[in-house]
Amino acid sequence: MQSFAPFSSLDLKSLTRLTPNPTRLLLQCASVSHDASNPTAAQLPAQASRRYEWQSACAILASKVVSQQQDTEKSDAVNGHPSLDLVPVKSNSAPALPKPLTIADLSPAPMHGSQLRVAYQGVPGAYSEAAAGKAYPKCEAIPCDQFEVAFQAVELWVADRAVLPVENSLGGSIHRNYDLLLRHRLHIVGEVQLPVHHCLLALPGVRREHLRRVISHPQALSQCEHTLTQMGLTVAREAVDDTAGAAEYIAANALRDTAAIASARAAELYGLKVMADGIQDDSSNVTRFVMLAREPIIPRTDRPFKTSIVFAHEKQGTSVLFKVLSAFAFRDISLTKIESRPHRGCPIRIVGDADTGATAKHFEYLYYIDFEASMAEARAQNALSEVQEFTSFLRVLGSYPMDMTPWAPSSPQD
Ligand SMILES: O=C(O)C(=O)C[C@]1(C(=O)O)C=C[C@@H](O)C=C1
């Protein structure tokens, strides 16, 4: 994996001037929830007529899955493996003919082995960089100074994917990224669970009694809170943008009274010493990252999939939530997440039918749900069409393969 200095929003502005396709960039740039003139197809309306459209979209997706499965079955009959080698082998004498597009060309499924450009928030040595490497092992990792910049990097075609933390086993949800998922139009195309193994880093020669403060990403500070206190380090804690950025800051400013919470790789990269290893309060400290792309992937049924949605309803009360949950419960679909986010003061555009047009609606709360089923499954499609009936706003954030890596306590190598 390669690493570079972080991208900022300024870099992205200058890059847009170089783009060969400015119209496309402008379209990709459009923000969802604030832009009253730009309807979004990803927002699903409540009206029954639109429900029909959504069901047809599901049917198209499902039929693509079936044809893809049939292709796989055909090739399986020949050699026992799904084959992508249906293109005739080029002979030396024959002219180079254009290669027919395959389903892989149309789907932004992970292209392991190629130089995929993956945006992450932070500087080299950040856990997000490690997550990018786990998701796409040979990728070119592109550091960005903010989460928002990572979203924009993909929207502006500077990067192919973004990898962003959404949840930690100790600290809970990373709300900023849920809010950004709604505001941008990217699709979740995968997830990775990364065991997070924190170290206390300082300049060589610095001892514990010299320390006056500990700096790190707020999530990392909270994940090590008790251990630091147990170590007698009751000094000031200060939040910075990312863990590796904290290490870089100490090195760049030769700070002998400050320690950083970051990875062992950050210590190596910035010439710091590991004062304490494995200082997370829980050895099973895991952060879940999602991979984002401009296009959704085609959901499949041949491996476990997860689907993430967000919905809202104008009338508050328990009954809507109860009905939504029952749509999943009656179909035996397990939920792995349910999260409510206050959403006052920021209207969401609801795309109506030809008569009603688009309207901006205010919702007090948004609900995020992850469930264990693929959008290619009839039970998931039926559950969602029911959810759509009960709610005023529904958007599918993505249907993607689950990270099935068996859990293991975090170790220094992670
Ligand atoms: O600061 C980093 O290194 C990050 O990648 C960010 C982040 C986060 O946002 O939660 C990622 C994983 C850890 O949980 C701590 C920090």
pLDDT digits (tens, 9 = 90+) for 98-122: 655 554 544 454 444 458 999 999 9
From the candidates 287, 307, 390, 393, give the one annotated as an active-site residue.
287
ipTM above 0.90, yes or no: yes
CA-nearest of 348, 366, 380 to 39 is 348
Q: How many A from CA of 199 to the centre of ligand 1? A: 13
Q: How many A from CA of 115 to the centre of ligand 1? A: 24
Q: Is the CB of 130 under 6 A from ligand 1?
A: no
**pTM reported for the whole predicted model:** 0.73
Q: Is the CB of 152 under 6 A from ligand 1?
A: no
Let me know: does 166 contact 289? Beta carbons within 8 Å.
yes
- The residue with tokens 């910049």 is 149
Q: What pLDDT, on the 0 to 100 scale, is given for residue 35?
A: 33
CA-nearest of 213, 161, 221 to 196 is 221
DSSP classification of residue 111: -
Let me know: does 151 contact 293? Beta carbons within 8 Å.
no
Q: What pLDDT, on the 0 to 100 scale, is given for residue 95?
A: 53
Q: Which residues of the chain have pLDDT under 70?
A: 1-114, 316-318, 345-347, 349-359, 406-414
Report helix, strand or coil for 363. Answer: coil
- The residue with tokens 């039970």 is 379
Q: Is the CB of 216 under 6 A from ligand 1?
A: no
Q: How many A from CA of 396 to the centre of ligand 1? A: 25
Q: Is the CB of 110 under 6 A from ligand 1?
A: no
Q: How many A from CA of 322 to the centre of ligand 1? A: 34
Q: Is the CB of 168 under 6 A from ligand 1?
A: yes
Q: Burial of 219 by CB count in 10 Å (0-12 exposed, 13-18 middle, 19+ buried)?
A: buried
Q: Burial of 374 by CB count in 10 Å (0-12 exposed, 13-18 middle, 19+ buried)?
A: buried
Q: What pLDDT, on the 0 to 100 scale, is given for residue 56?
A: 42
Let me know: does 178 contact 395? Beta carbons within 8 Å.
no
Q: What pLDDT, on the 0 to 100 scale, is given for residue 317?
A: 65
